[in-house]
């Protein structure tokens, strides 16, 4: 009976708090240094800002293209855009190149 009491007391005083401390240390370490810990948070935020800039660029391109497509809808064709596309395809122009039409002589 005395042995059982000493074993129970030993576990109550030393082993259970040691196991609890080990759990706290384990989860505390991964809270700070883990792959999703506090130190990784700054890296993730930097990647997020880069992706948000890329998204804004792609969204602006998409909005520009949707506007150009809406200008080519049947019944609402923009003659300036049609002329721009025709000149680009017929003259074989490069991006940024300006085509100046000549007067008929």
Domain residues of the chain, as ranges?
A: 1-33, 43-94
What confidence tens digit (pLDDT) does each residue in 37-60 have? 999 998 999 999 999 999 999 999
Instruction: Give the separation between CA 50 and CA 56, rounded to whole angstroms.
Output: 10
- pLDDT averaged over every residue in the chain: 84
Whole-prediction pTM value? 0.54
Q: Do residues 72 and 66 touch, judged by C-beta distance below 8 A? A: no
Per-residue pLDDT band at 83 (split at 50, 70, 90)? confident
Q: Do residues 84 and 90 touch, judged by C-beta distance below 8 A? A: no
Alpha-helical regions (H) of the chain = 2-10, 16-33, 38-71, 79-90
């Amino acid at each position: 009976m005395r042995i059982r009491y000493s074993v129970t007391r030993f576990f109550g005083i030393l082993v259970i708090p040691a196991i609890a401390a080990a759990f706290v240390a384990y989860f505390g370490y991964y809270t700070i240094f883990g792959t999703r810990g506090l130190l990784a948070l700054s890296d993730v935020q930097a990647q997020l800002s880069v992706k948000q800039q890329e998204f804004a660029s792609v969204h602006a391109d998409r909005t520009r293209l949707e506007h150009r497509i809406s200008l080519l809808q049947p019944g609402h064709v923009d003659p300036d855009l049609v002329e721009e596309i025709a000149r680009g395809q017929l003259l074989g122009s490069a991006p940024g190149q300006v085509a100046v039409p000549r007067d008929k002589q």
